Amino acid sequence: MIYLDLPRWPAHGRLWSHLVSDVALAELHAFAELLGLPGRAFDGDHYDLPASHFQTAVWLGAQLVPSREIVTLLYAAGLRRRPAPRPRPRPR
């Protein structure tokens, strides 16, 4: 399944959504191709989706979820790895 959040992330004079898959990156890339997204919109485990493409993505079947759900879905699918723990500074 493909998911997206509301376009509320500002950058480059536009608002953006995050587009993710809970299955595989191949599914995500195929959906992005349907939308006509360029490869540069891919950011490791998601696509940055301009607000101008939001309604089309929903029409094609993407499910709207809250922004915090995006990361949860990526972790559950194994498409995002948890960051390595930071070493604690040694006392001086």
Span 28-75, pLDDT tens digits: 999 999 999 999 999 989 999 999 999 999 999 999 999 999 989 988
Which of the four pLDDT bands, split at 50, 70 and 90, describes residue 81? low
pLDDT of 83 over the 80 cut: no
> What pLDDT is attached to residue 63?
98
Cβ atoms 19, 2 nearer than 8 A: yes
CA-to-CA distance for 7 and 67, rounded, in angstroms? Answer: 10
Given the structure tokens 């992330």, which residue do they identify? Answer: 9
Domain for residue 10, yes or no?
yes
- The per-residue pLDDT for 1 is 95
CA distances from 75 to 10, 11, 27, 32, 52 (A): 24, 25, 16, 20, 27
Within-domain flag for 35: yes
In a domain, 28, yes or no: yes
Asked whether residue 39 is domain-assigned, the answer is yes
| Residue count of the chain | 92
Cα angle, residue 53 at apex, residues 51 and 55 outer, rounded to 5°: 90
- Tell me which residue range forms the domain holding 63: 2-77
Residue 84: what pLDDT?
61
Q: Is residue 20 assigned to a domain?
A: yes
Q: How many CA atoms lie within 13 A of 47 on its CB side?
A: 30
**How many domains is the chain built from?**
1
